[in-house]
């Protein structure tokens, strides 16, 4: 019968010492808003024979719930809760799009415990924080026994629930460069609050005299991972940001997505609404 074990190291040295035992399956625990319900469901089901024991490693004692800045970057610790991000003056000043996205994640009680690192590592194609992080060109810092490495957000996800992180690597920080442009976020769910996205999108725009100089567009819940929309970006770059040009560019998103039917929506419906959600995200990014 599967056994369950728990560790809460207060240093990375102790963490990596624990990780030397590879006889058990490892799960890292941040806020637990997603993991704990899944764990409870597993324990209620019939036990599976020959399944490895599970070692749950709590990361909350590693001091990763910080938000700091320097002249060029903002660094967010991976165990920073959504509520802490919402209330932070640095984020309000530099990246209000993150707050807009977080405002639409679950409810207050979940945001009080859910962490940005957990939302990232859960690697859901519908994660509401991820499109904004992708268009902001965020960098994710992974730390393992052999040291740290940086991975761009757009390269981090490999499929539903999968990332480039190794089993013994922990997401420690999110680094976001300070930008001169503006970003916007838009989401469609089955109801107005506390719901997973049917489609979500974020846009980052730099412009001069209403001409688009830089465009980065990402859309979620329409493919195995959040999609960076290169064709939409190419149609915007160098163009005046008129209603007609924004609409024409947004329509190209249908050539870059591969939605599926699920309990929230059909693939057909997602293809119909994706251009609208992308257009609204772009419009939100150009409203200063």
Q: Where are the domains of the chain?
A: 4-58, 67-177, 182-285
Quickly list DSSP for 134-173. Answer: HHTT-EEEEEETTEEEEEEHHHHEEETTEES--TT-EEEE
Q: Which residues of the chain have pLDDT under 50?
A: none
Q: Which CATH class is domain 67-177?
A: alpha beta
Q: What gap in Å lies between CA 54 and CA 47, rounded to an integer?
A: 13
Q: What is the pLDDT of residue 215?
A: 98
pTM, two decimal places: 0.93
**Separation of CA 274 from chain center:** 18
Q: What is the pLDDT of residue 48?
A: 59
What H or E segment, with its residue span, contains residue 74? Answer: strand 73-77
Fold annotation for 182-285: Enolase-like; domain 1 (3.30.390)
Of 2, 95, 97, 19, the closest CA to residue 53 belongs to: 2
What pLDDT, on the 0 to 100 scale, is given for residue 113? 93
């Amino acid at each position: 019968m599967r056994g369950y074990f728990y560790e809460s190291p207060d240093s990375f040295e102790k963490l990596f010492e624990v990780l030397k035992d590879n006889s058990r399956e490892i799960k890292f625990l941040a806020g637990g808003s997603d993991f704990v319900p899944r764990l409870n469901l597993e324990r209620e089901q019939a036990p599976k024979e020959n399944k490895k024991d599970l070692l749950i490693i709590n990361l909350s004692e590693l001091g990763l719930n910080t938000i700091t800045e320097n002249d060029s970057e903002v660094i967010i610790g991976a165990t920073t809760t959504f509520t802490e991000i919402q209330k932070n003056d640095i984020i309000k000043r530099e990246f209000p799009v993150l707050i807009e996205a977080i405002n639409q994640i679950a409810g207050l009680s979940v945001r009080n415990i859910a962490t940005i690192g957990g939302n990232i590592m859960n690697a859901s194609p519908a994660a509401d924080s991820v499109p904004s992080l992708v268009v902001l060109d965020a960098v994710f810092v992974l730390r393992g026994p052999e040291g740290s490495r940086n991975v761009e957000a757009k390269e981090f996800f490999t499929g539903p629930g999968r990332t480039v992180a190794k089993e013994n690597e922990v997401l420690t920080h999110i680094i976001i460069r300070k930008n001169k442009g503006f970003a916007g976020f838009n989401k469609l769910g089955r109801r107005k609050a506390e719901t997973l996205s049917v489609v979500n999108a974020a846009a980052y725009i730099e412009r001069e005299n209403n001409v688009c100089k830089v465009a980065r567009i990402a859309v979620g819940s329409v493919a195995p991972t959040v999609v960076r929309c290169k064709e939409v970006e190419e149609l915007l770059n160098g163009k005046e940001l008129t209603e007609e040009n924004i609409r024409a560019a947004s329509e190209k998103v249908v050539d870059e997505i591969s939605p599926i039917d699920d309990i929230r929506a059909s693939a057909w419906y997602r293809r119909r609404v994706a251009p609208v959600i992308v257009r609204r995200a772009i419009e939100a990014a150009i409203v200063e």
